[in-house]
Amino acid sequence: MPIRRVLSRLQPMVPPDATSAVLWFDERGADDLDVAGGKGANLTAMVRAGLPVPGGFVVTTEAYRELVDSPAIRDAIARLENVDSSDTDALVTAARDVRSLIESRSLIEAVETAIADAVDSCETAGSFAVRSSATAEDLPSASFAGQHTTFLGVAPADVPDRVRDCMASLFTARAVAYRARTEMAHAESAMAVVVQPMVDAAAAGVLFTADPATGNRRVSSIDASYGLGESIVAGEVTPDHALVNTRSDEVIEYVIGTKRVAFELNTPPIADTGVQATESGGDRTPERGGTRRVDLPNDLRESRVLTDEQLRTLVGLGERVETLLGAPQDLEWALADGRFVLLQSRPITSLFPRPSPTPEDGRLHVYVSMGHMQAMPEAMPPLVRDIWRSYTKNAVSGMDLSASDDLTAEAGGRIYIDVTGFLRRPILRSRLIERIAAINEPISAGLDTIVSRRPEEFPSRGVPITALSQYLGTSARVVRLIGPAIPGIARNVLAALAGRGVTLEDESWTRLGDLFVARVTDGPTPEARARAVFDPVDIRAIIREVYPRISPLFLAFAVGGWLKRTFPDRPEEVNAVGRGFERDVVTRINLGLGDIADIARERPNVVAGLRDGASLSDIAEAEGGKRFREAFDDFLDEFGHRATGEIDLSRPRWREDPSMLLAVVRANLERETTGEHRERIRRLVGEAEAAADSLEGHADHGLFGPLRRRYVRWLIRTYRDTVYLREYPKQEAARAFTAWRTALLEAGERLVDAGALDRRDDVWYLRRDELFAALDGEAVAVDIAARRREHARNSGIDAPPVITSEGEAVRARPEHDALVDGTLAGTGVSSGVVEGVARVIRDPATATIEPGEILVAPSTDPGWTPLFLNAAGLVSEVGGAVSHGALVAREYGLPAVVSVPEATKRIRTGQRVRIDGTRGTVELLDERPEAGDSTSAE
């Protein structure tokens, strides 16, 4: 926020008159957000729509601006604007200073008189509710729920002072921190105040017009308790909880809570009910009004607050409000004299967006996150999403296997794949759920759950006659698609079984990359190369030319599955035979970095530069730095196209930013000795040979024991000759990603030169058609800054792996044994048990891990590989048995548990944890971090 704009907001103003300081809900201007704030504007709209809202008035933002119109307050707010938002202590202190200055002032006489006159006109009101209504409050993008102050049971004479205190609460520490996180300028916000007569509620609570626990927009969630809603807000009771289907009016669930207390108005006292007041609410005495906490009689504590009919009535009111305000709502309600009244309404900002575009058939659709399938669930900027949506559409169209070419949708900056067509066909459904289970168990379990729960959408038996022709047609297309590749696949599989597998020198791998890269790099101009990124891929050529050459990898997966099924009681030995491959891509990355560290060890000046955090260029200038630079450049020639989260093309590649690699080399210098990295591989090879001998011996029993032994030896040899190929397709695909990135950044540079963009990486915030139009010379009419902010918001929310068109996040969990408190459940992908100190890392480019620590990450991909050198175990929020993190963990013999929801939030750096990679559990051993650092490494 430019300081000139901030100061302009704080210039002295003309004092308001009574008509502009106080507006009743039915007066003109009371629905203006800038005048009445979010809460006031919403209540005004509800009153005008005929909804049951207690009458009241708004003390407008004009009164607030006059209240803060003093040099001392303007200076204090200006100082607050300049406080570093990451300096919590300074932020709290500066906020307290502003708040104290406001609380020390009084509203001007004209405003106080207008408030007093409005209060007097409410002749029957014994007390009032005084609620904050900030201009940045109750908005779709920022609710500010609980950030400002509300006063209940306010005596008429005290209303002006409470209005001032509400205005001062614009600068509570929590409100200031909230604005800092959402990048809102403090001087840009203003506070209005809503004043209403108190409702003497028999019951009260909260209604969400969409279920906040699941996101389902067709299920309303209600919490209810006796008395005022303060008992729920204060956490004094466990309220009744109900779920209602808004389409059918069915009460899906009603759980009676334990309600030992209630809050009621201090006056008049409760009489003849057997209820005894135990304490006064807040710091208000009975003479000044307020609320009091009362004990409920035993017969009410476990009784139901609302009937089914009352629930339906309340939900109906909620639907009207949602329609009126245009978004799912969080409403506070009260039941008085047998009728519901609505006290306030704000958008539910925590809901994950529904997939877009919305299905046209009006039926339930189910979507799977592409990012979770790739173990990269983070949000991506618009142009990157367009690339992958175009790629998916072109691939599906090229395979000619689906009734719809476009199976993708967007939600929360992520891409989702519509799998509804597969789930509606029982044969395809079972295979899909089974195959996905090997990649991501929670996704598979979520699909199984939604299918079981919605049988009307997904019939479990039979194939309709109308669908039979579709099955036959699909089968014929599959045969035509893969038919040309079958001879080559069979030939190479047989060669692998005979011990003649694909070699590293085979052109298969570069051919895979060339199929994607050539069409981009061959373009004659930056414009042509950028457009080529979106050209359709020849999926048939990929299947015909590449699949036969990588077919031994499919054989490796089949043999690996056979070994697990044959030796279910020996998982560690089965894992061990899949370790210790110098030819594996992951191992080659780590061996290369270890070799570079060994070169540095022989050159003291290079070591000093690394420890000082010098750049690669500066290190190269040091004595002995030339050899180090040559080795580093050789490494980048082979792996410099890799990156963290590399399917997000907006992220820099290692070649562009080698700082993470230099940090790994520096850590290697401090914690390892010369050749230790290669000794580790030799040890893994020895363990693999010992495990193979053990499994062979286990098979050698009975009459046919010698034959079984030779059969197991042959399969293990085949497995080890092929399984190391698993990361090579990703290695070559990443070359394509880098070529695409380069082409689009060149286009960004061209647009910067033309004055269309400010920075070349602004190109990521264009959509595809906007990019093409800009390259054709059209003006870029896009708010890049707004899209950057939206991307930042998307990046801060957790995306569900499975979501429906109704907005429900389906988070079914695989079955586990009964878990003790403090134990998190996930999917075990690498067996073994390890206990150690956690290191939470969200960005591997800016963090390292100490030897013996347990790596806790949101996800892992090849960009994380160097961090596995020191890790003792892995916990990840996403992933499955064949995700990158699982493969590396098994290769290095590290216990690993993936698909642990919110692991990076529930586990803290320095906290001791025990992970069981066999059971798939993470046990939190202490509440406090063992080390002094309780923050996550960024």
**Which residues are the active-site residues?**
884
Residue 655 structure tokens: 């070649």
**Distance of alpha carbon 730 from alpha carbon 799, whole angstroms:** 24
Q: Decide: 881 and 899 in contact? Cβ < 8 Å.
A: no
Dihedral-angle region of residue 405 (phi above 0 means left; psi in -120 to 50 means alpha; beta otherwise): alpha
Contact, 102 vs 171, CB < 8 A?
A: yes
Say how many CA atoms lie within 13 Å of 577 toward its Cβ. Answer: 29
Residues in the chain: 938
| Antiparallel, parallel or unpaired: β 833-840 and 854-857 | parallel
Asked if 524 and 515 count as a contact pair (C-beta separation under 8 A), the reply is: no
Decide: 719 and 577 in contact? Cβ < 8 Å: yes
Q: Which tokens is 352 given?
A: 């994950």
Do 769 and 521 touch, CB atoms closer than 8 A?
no
Termini Cα distance of the chain = 26
Q: What is the DSSP letter of 148?
A: S
* Helix boundaries (H) for 700-835: 705-722, 728-753, 768-775, 784-795
DSSP secondary structure, 336-347, as one string: ETTEEEEEEEEE
Question: 559-586 burial by CB neighbour count: b if 16+ within 10 A, else e?
Answer: bbeebeeebeebbbbbbbbbbbbeebbb
Q: Which residues contact 50 (CB under 8 A, 6 or more apart)?
A: none
Residue type, 558: A
Half-sphere CA count of 91, side-chain side, radius 13 A: 16
Q: Are 789 and 183 in contact (CB under 8 A)?
A: yes
Alpha-carbon torsion (64, 68, 69, 75), positive or negative: negative
Rounded CA Rg of the chain: 32
Please give the DSSP secondary-structure letter assigned to residue 192. E
Burial class (CB in 10 A: 0-12, 13-18, 19+), 305: buried
Residue 879's alpha-carbon distances to 325, 370, 439, 808, 857, in angstroms, are 39, 12, 7, 21, 11
Q: What HEC string does 654-675 produce? A: CCCCCHHHHHHHHHHHHHCCCC
For residue 102, CA distances in Å to 107, 159, 267, 596, 852 come to 10, 16, 30, 61, 53
Instruction: Kindly tell me the sign of the dihedral angle through the C-alpha atoms of 555, 514, 376, 811.
Output: negative
For residues 133 and 40, what is the distance between their CA atoms, to the nearest angstrom?
Answer: 6
Considering only CA atoms, which of 559, 442, 558, 551 is closest in space to residue 829? 442
Rounded Cα distance, 390 and 410, in Å? 12
User: What DSSP element (H or E) covers 449?
Assistant: helix 441-453
Give me the residues paired with residue 332 across strands: 206, 344
Angle of CA points 301, 304, 310, to nearest 5° = 145
User: What residues contact 786, with CB distance under 8 A and at least 6 apart?
Assistant: none
CB atoms within 10 A of CB 91: 18
Q: Compute the distance between CA of residue 428 and CA of residue 910 in angstroms, rounded to an integer.
A: 46
Secondary structure element (H or E) that encloses residue 756, with its range: none
